[in-house]
Amino acid sequence: MRLIGDIIKYKDKIRKGIKKYGHFAEHNFTHYLYSEGRLGKNVFFDFGSGRGVLARFYQGGNSWSLFPNGVLAPKEERLGLLLKTAEYILKKKKGKKFAVEVSEELKKEILDKLHARNLRACSCNYVLYWPLYNMELWDSELKGSKWKKLRNIKNRFLRKNKVKVVDSRTVPKERLKEIVAKWLVKRQKNDKVDKDYYYKFIENNFKGMDMAKTLYVNGKPCTITAGWKIPNTKNYYSSIGIFDYSYPDLGEITNIDDLNRAKKEGYEYVDFGGSEKALLSFKRKFRPEKIYKTYIFSIVRRGVSKK
């Protein structure tokens, strides 16, 4: 195993690993790169043959974190690579903690194996809920009683407003940043958002995205939706869903258009991203087939507190 700290220098290696073994919604190199914060530095644990672990190092507190479900390997090898990474961080590097975000299945496997390695898991910090929409069940025409509320919202909005959809790359960057700024003002206080992440995508013409769309309403750009095909699946991750709140029901119209386009592109499922349970109600309007969970908690050496 080799620890790589220069992500840009080894970007081709990491991209190949994601292409070969990526499996989760957030497995996208540009997303990984732009998610790097001012306090944390992206690192990659290279296990060879495309296998690796996407992670982050916080030098100030000698703490580390796993990029969400960031183990790139065949399914049967993911637990082993994650545990090897944890041991390296906590024992060799004397890391204070290793925070992970993993699936419910992998969480159970981790908890079963930690004691034998003289490690332990702290209490779960967060549970994120991820709605998954089956495109076979999504009706683009919103027919029938099942879709009545959304159909009425759509018809009322289109009756009152003129809507045009364009590629976000054709919209002036400053106008797109204005949409982000207005959206940020309306976010709930407990919903933390890194505005620089969105500005990076805007400045770089949505590099790494497979789709980026903006709705013009009455001649004014009001929304940004963008995302990518999840590696080694036929599923789409709608990573960015932003609207400026300038019209009632604009959020519903934005997501209806997003789902319609994903279905037209032939995707089997659409993932709308993880959020805390309190922030899930809006996403339920579009009737996900299921909602899966990821768990965020820290791994530490036995005898070490979680602080």
80 in Cβ contact with 46 (< 8 Å): no
Helix (H, G, I), strand (E, B) or coil at 67: strand
Residue 127 clears pLDDT 70, i.e. is over it: yes
In a domain, 105, yes or no: yes
Indicate whether 275 and 244 sit together in one domain: yes
Residue 190 clears pLDDT 70, i.e. is over it: no
Residue 191 clears pLDDT 60, i.e. is over it: no
pLDDT (mean) for 241-249: 96
Bigger pLDDT: 279 or 282? 282
Residues with Cβ within 8 Å of 47's Cβ and at least 6 positions away in sequence, in order, are 1, 53, 73, 81, 84
- The share of the chain scoring above pLDDT 90, in percent, equals 89
Indicate whether 99 and 170 sit together in one domain: no
Owning domain of residue 199? 138-288
Rounded-to-integer distance, Cα 301 and Cα 138, Å: 47
Indicate whether 160 and 274 sit together in one domain: yes
Indicate whether 118 and 145 sit together in one domain: no
pLDDT (mean) for 54-65: 92
Indicate whether 113 and 195 sit together in one domain: no
Residue 8 clears pLDDT 60, i.e. is over it: yes
Residue 114 clears pLDDT 60, i.e. is over it: yes
In a domain, 142, yes or no: yes
Which of these, 4, 2, 74, 59, lies nearest to 32 by C-alpha position? Answer: 4
pLDDT (mean) for 3-17: 97
Helix (H, G, I), strand (E, B) or coil at 256: helix
Indicate whether 221 and 142 sit together in one domain: yes
Of 60-74, 175-189, 212-226, the one with minimum mean pLDDT is: 175-189
Residue 97 clears pLDDT 90, i.e. is over it: yes
Tens digit of each residue's pLDDT (9 = 90 or more) over 133-144: 999 999 999 999
In a domain, 228, yes or no: yes
In a domain, 306, yes or no: no
At 186, which CATH number? 3.40.630.30
Burial 198-208 (b: 16+ CB within 10 A, else e): bbbbbeeebeb
Q: Structure pTM?
A: 0.93
In a domain, 307, yes or no: no
Indicate whether 102 and 191 sit together in one domain: no
Residue 267 clears pLDDT 90, i.e. is over it: yes
pLDDT of residue 42: 97
In a domain, 132, yes or no: no
Measured in degrees and rounded to the nearest 5, phi and psi for residue 303 equal 90, 0
46 in Cβ contact with 13 (< 8 Å): yes
25 in Cβ contact with 229 (< 8 Å): no
pLDDT of residue 258: 97
Indicate whether 105 and 171 sit together in one domain: no
In a domain, 116, yes or no: yes
Residue 35 identity (one-letter amino acid): S
Indicate whether 153 and 61 sit together in one domain: no
CA angle (31, 37, 38) in 5-degree steps: 150
> What domain count does the chain have?
2
Rounded-to-integer distance, Cα 248 and Cα 242, Å: 14
Indicate whether 9 and 97 sit together in one domain: yes
Bigger pLDDT: 100 or 191? 100
Residue 235 clears pLDDT 90, i.e. is over it: yes
In a domain, 133, yes or no: no
How high does pLDDT run on average in the chain?
94
pLDDT of residue 39: 75
Residue 38 clears pLDDT 80, i.e. is over it: no
Helix (H, G, I), strand (E, B) or coil at 38: coil
Indicate whether 175 and 276 sit together in one domain: yes
Residue 70 clears pLDDT 90, i.e. is over it: yes
Indicate whether 206 and 111 sit together in one domain: no
- Of the pLDDT bands very low, low, confident and very high (cuts 50, 70, 90), residue 192 is low
Classify the C-alpha dihedral 250-251-257-261 as positive or negative: positive
pLDDT (mean) for 204-217: 97
Residue 293 clears pLDDT 90, i.e. is over it: yes
